[in-house]
Amino acid sequence: MADSFGFSTRLIRESVAVDKQTGAANVPVYLSSTFHQKSFDQFGKYDYSRSGNPTREVLEQAIARLEGGVRGFAFASGMAAISTAFLLLSSGDHAVVPKNVYGGTFRILTQVLGRLGIEHTFVNMTDLDEVERAIRPNTKVIYIETPSNPTFRITDIHAISQIARTHRCYTFADNTFMSPVFQRPLALGADLVLHSATKFISGHSDVVAGLAVAGGEELAEKMYFLQNALGAVLGVQDAWLLLRGLKTLDVRIRRSAASARKIAGFLAEQPEVRHVYYPGLPDHPGHAVQARQSESGGAVLSFDLGNEAGARLFVDRVEIPVFAVSLGAVESILSYPPRMSHAELSPDEQKDAGISSGLLRLSVGLEDSEDLICDLRRGLSAVRESKNGAVRSGESCGRLS
Ligand code: PLP
């Protein structure tokens, strides 16, 4: 019944959760680590908050329904969710992973899971033949992240899930960049969806959190066991904040994505910009696949200013974006992937993943898009002046001048 509602209605219905006892419009923050049991023989639904907490449960049910899965899990960070998911594998198992995977996922694969005997092969996930060739008899997971970060390569979720199914392995999909508003990997054949909920789902740069949703009961059981066994659960107050974030997710990400599309078009026309990476642009190599599997190109884009010096000048000159790691917030966030999100990769690995020294990533926030474009224009003028040896121009942007 609920599924007949539009997605924005479902977001509100899932996250409001009127309290049955008091009628409060929001689920209470159940700050309790333990729960009284009725009698020696009669144990209630909750016993200890690592195993289950009523506030966290509302969030877990909400994300499960919104992603179209059977069960959701809330973790202390995106990496806690991803690490727990990889620990479904055992020593001697193998995972196929995109070479431009998020730096933290790269780190856990190369520096932790390898030590435990869990093997991996990095591939270009957009090349389905290469993915097939990387699969071994012990492959248990094909891990995807689409769009990938920071060069926005698009993986065909349905095609990869089909390959995984043929080889009897799982598909895990990191859906951080799109959120369930734009993309729902389980419906395209994936088995497990992962989120750094620190990003769009929280939306305000005030929570570090992770979410996972299992598409089937068997995987859900295994994930629940591991969530409880490893214990990297999300704190109750942060679970409540994520529920609040969910309520505005639809409007926030749509507004940011509309601005990102405008900004990508603007940057693509600027002579100082060597390349714009944004799957919403028609000349992006993954545009057709993106349009088939997602509702939008998203709210994050990258652009190449040619070299580190240009990137530095640009970052020094702009005034609106916060210069920081992370993305998906109400404020625009500018970052320099070679030294920030992807610092874990060696220079050769960065080159292989298409991360050039002039690359900047912009997560577009909720500021006025015209103000943002004006500010970016100002950043580009710094790059231009350095090339021409010109004096700084006195360009002004609305309120900032
Ligand atoms: N996946 C992606 C795509 C990310 O960008 C990040 C963090 O930036 C993570 C996972 C890890 O999430 P967290 O920082 O919440 O641990």
Phi, psi angle pair for 288, to nearest 5°: -65, -45
Which of helix, strand or coil describes residue 354?
coil
Query: Whose Cα sits closest to atom 12 in ligand 1?
Result: 78
pLDDT of residue 1: 46
Query: Whose Cα sits closest to atom 6 in ligand 1?
Result: 196
> Catalytic positions, please?
50, 102, 174, 199
CA of 133 to the centre of ligand 1 (A): 28
pLDDT in tens, 98-148: 988 898 999 999 999 999 999 999 999 999 999 999 999 999 999 999 999
CA of 74 to the centre of ligand 1 (A): 14
Query: Whose Cα sits closest to atom 7 in ligand 1?
Result: 196
Kindly write down the DSSP assignment for every residue of 297-327, as one continuous string: --SEEEEE-SSHHHHHHHHHH--SSEESS--
pLDDT in tens, 228-287: 999 999 999 999 999 999 999 999 999 999 999 999 999 999 999 999 999 999 999 999
Average pLDDT over residues 385-395: 70
Position 392 pLDDT exceeds 70: no
**CA dihedral of 166, 167, 172, 174, whole degrees rounded to 10:** -80
pLDDT in tens, 205-214: 999 999 999 9
50-64, 169-183, 291-305, 349-363 — which is least confidently predicted?
Answer: 349-363
Residue 48 DSSP label: B
Phi, psi angle pair for 193, to nearest 5°: -110, 140
Which of helix, strand or coil describes residue 214?
strand
Residue 391 binned pLDDT confidence (cut-offs 50, 70, 90): low
CA of 348 to the centre of ligand 1 (A): 22
Q: For residue 343, what are the CA distances in angstroms to 170, 336, 340? A: 29, 10, 5
CB 245 within 8 A of CB 111: no
Instruction: Give the other-Cβ count within 10 Å of 248's Cβ.
Output: 17
CB 179 within 8 A of CB 207: no
Report the nearest atom of ligand 1 relative to the CA of 145. Answer: 3
> Please, where are the H alpha helices in 124-235?
128-134, 157-166, 179-182, 217-230
CA of 291 to the centre of ligand 1 (A): 24
Query: Whose Cα sits closest to atom 8 in ligand 1?
Result: 326
pLDDT of residue 390: 65
pLDDT of residue 398: 61
Q: Which of 264, 332, 261 is nearest to 304 (CA)?
A: 264
CB 309 within 8 A of CB 298: no
What CA–CA distance (Å, rounded) separates 145 from 237? 28
CA 348 from chain center: how many Å? 25
CA of 23 to the centre of ligand 1 (A): 36
What CA–CA distance (Å, rounded) separates 195 from 177? 8
Residue 354 binned pLDDT confidence (cut-offs 50, 70, 90): confident
pLDDT in tens, 12-41: 998 888 888 899 999 999 999 999 999 999
Name, in order, each residue with C-beta under 8 angstroms of 12's C-beta and a sequence gap of 6 or more: 247
Pocket of ligand 1 (CB under 6 A): 77-79, 102, 104, 145, 149, 174, 176, 196, 198, 208, 210, 341
Q: Which two tokens stand for residue 305?
A: 């200013």
CA 47 from chain center: how many Å? 32
Residue type, 396: S
Report the nearest atom of ligand 1 relative to the CA of 82. Answer: 10
Q: Which of 180, 184, 147, 183 is nearest to 279 (CA)?
A: 147
CB 249 within 8 A of CB 8: no
Instruction: Give the other-Cβ count within 10 Å of 367's Cβ.
Output: 16
Position 173 pLDDT exceeds 90: yes
Q: Which domains does the chain possess?
A: 2-245 (3.40.640.10), 250-387 (3.90.1150.10)
Residue 35 DSSP label: -
